[in-house]
Amino acid sequence: MAVRRRQRGYNVEMDPARDLGRWLIVGGIILAAVGALLLFGSRWPLRLGRLPGDIAIQGRRGSFYFPVVTCLLISVVLTVVMWLVALFRR
């Protein structure tokens, strides 16, 4: 069942199945890109998760690792991606 709504002076028919299909395709492309990054990421000079600035403490009985810079980098990338998605949804 299509829903009619008015957008920018035009009558637009929205089909929920079509919108779902579009989001599934976009999600698949994003998953493929992340998979390629993980697959080929070990060949890069700076490996994700082992960037300079990440905290790694090793003791006799155990170790502690907190990827501060990696978290910041992922946050910036996801912020830009979400900003672009919001920009193109308008």
Bridge partners, residue 19, by sequence: none
Same domain, residue pair 27 and 62: no
State the total domains in the chain. Answer: 2
User: What's the confidence (pLDDT) of residue 24?
Assistant: 92
**Positive/negative CA dihedral, 67, 69, 74, 75:** positive
Q: What pLDDT digit, counting tens, does each position of 22-78 carry?
A: 889 988 998 999 888 878 877 777 677 778 889 999 999 999 999 999 899 989 989
Same domain, 15 and 25: yes
- Looking at residue 12, its pLDDT comes to 58
**Residue-level pLDDT at 11:** 53
Largest CA distance in the chain: 69
32 lies in the same domain as 11: yes
Domain region containing 28: 1-43
DSSP code, position 46: S
Pair 57, 82 in one domain: yes
